Amino acid sequence: MGFTILGTGSALPTRSVSNDELSEFLDTSDEWIFTRTGIKSRHVCTTESLDDLAVAASERALQVSGIDASQLDLIVCSTTTGDHLVPAEACAVAERLGATCPAFDVSAACAGFVFALDVAEGYIARGRAKHVLVVAAEQMTRALDWTDRATCVLFGDGAGAAVIGAEGENPLAVELSTSPDVETLRVPGLAGSSPYKTAQDRESVLSMNGRRVFKFGVNAICDTVNKLACDAGIAVEDIDHFVFHQANERIL
């Protein structure tokens, strides 16, 4: 059984921060950031919560799709920076939408939306769902070290959502994989306050080996596109559009 994207929606915080603004407290400049990343500005949460962004994106997707929240059979949210560890971000979305279907999160960082979409397709294929809301939402600014110019200039906040319906054709090809490497890009979890803990926990801010991420991003994208084209039985040169989840223009 295939699926169709019935509607999409997105939401961004109101505040946009330019490279020049970052240079007011970082040893950086618009030229330094732009020539290395292609980024001019990013949206950052001020008064908005991640719940606010995720719900706004979901409401827009539902409106475009013509589906009411009461018709949803499943909500899957991809996030690594939820407003709360428990309940899931998807549960917060369900509550504010007025939905009572199963709702849970997946954690797959940059690839999260694709993983969540694959989960939604599985529910549809098994006949467990006819309408699924897939949400990807991140408030990365809460996880950044704002003294590290190599990482904090790359990320912003936002949310996107899609309503998936049990109609249409199967995807031509899907490829999911993982290259386990905990140290290259990580945000440590909760430190807690257990009186029995003797090991020193790391601060819960993002750290990244930029060179390794750059090399992996380029190789992984190229290898995966070639494999997908082969699996789908089409030539890479016959593909009309490439849509990659990647903030760095140099990697693209």
DSSP for residue 209: -
Determine the pLDDT at residue 122: 93
DSSP for residue 206: -
Q: Where are the domains of the chain?
A: 4-165
Report residue 86: phi and psi, to 5°.
-140, 130
> For residue 27, how far is the Cα from the chain centroid?
28
Determine the pLDDT at residue 203: 83
Rounded to two decimals, what is the model's pTM? 0.92
pLDDT along the chain (252 residues), means of 10: 91 98 95 93 97 98 97 98 94 97 95 94 94 98 94 95 90 86 85 84 86 89 94 95 86 87
DSSP code per residue over 91-155: HHHHHHHT--S-EEEE--GGGHHHHHHHHHHHHHHTTS-SEEEEEEEEEGGGG--TT-TTTTTT-
DSSP for residue 2: -
Determine the pLDDT at residue 1: 63
Of 3.20.10.10, 1.10.10.10, 3.10.20.740, 3.40.47.10, the CATH number of 4-165 is 3.40.47.10
Helix axes 89-97, 50-65, angle to 10 degrees: 50
Nearest to 137 by CA among 248, 13, 41, 16: 13
